[in-house]
Amino acid sequence: MSFKKVKDILNRLTEEHVVFLKKIEELEKKLKDNFSEDILDELMSFIKKDVLEHARVEEEDLEKALEEAGITDFDIEALNFGHRTLDEIIQHLEYLIDLYKKGERKYMGRELQSEIIKTAQEFFTTLKDHFTEEEDFFFPDILKYDMERFE
């Protein structure tokens, strides 16, 4: 099996990182300037549709492509670990948004809107760090397998 499929997936993921970083900037600004249920819906839609599908491609499609290319010693679990951290933040964010939509305005004595923005910011920061980790460490580690074939 060729290494091309692996490279194609990595290219797609890296291109999506760029698109997602632009979307994050846009959402950060909207949350700060125009906080509303519509913005919260847009945020959760971005997370559930785009980010979770991106994670699925990394966890399933990339892993399968690595296996097909004969790369069995890359630690895909290290890559997936970052997704577990993001999942925990998403669950908390969803909980806070549900409270807000039910009319709550306080959470543990603090302004709920501020808590939602803070948690969204934590998600964005963690996601950006994850992208950096992938592009600086995981993806180059995967690509070195292709280079080793020509050494």
| Average pLDDT score over the chain | 94
| DSSP labels, 21-85 | HHHHHHHHHHHHHS--HHHHHHHHHIIIIIIHHHHHIIIIIIHHHHHHTT--SS-HHHHHHHHHH
Q: CA 129, 131, 136, 137: dihedral to nearest 10 degrees?
A: 90
Q: Is the pLDDT of residue 103 over 70?
A: yes
Q: Of all residues in the chain, what percent are helix, strand and coil, respectively (each to 5)?
A: 85, 5, 15
Cα(27)–Cα(40) distance, rounded to whole angstroms?
9
Of 33 and 150, more confident: 33
- Has residue 147 got a pLDDT over 80? no
pLDDT at res. 63: 93
Between 116 and 73, name the one with better pLDDT.
Answer: 116
The yes-or-no verdict on residue 142 having pLDDT over 60 is yes
| Span of 46-50, 112-116, 137-141 with lowest mean pLDDT | 137-141
- Pair 57, 12: CB distance under 8 Å: yes
Query: If you search the block for the tokens 């670990």, which residue do you land on?
Result: 81
d(CA 43, CA 101): 14
Burial of 52 (0-12, 13-18, 19+ CB in 10 A): middle
Q: Which residue has the higher pLDDT, 82 or 111?
A: 111
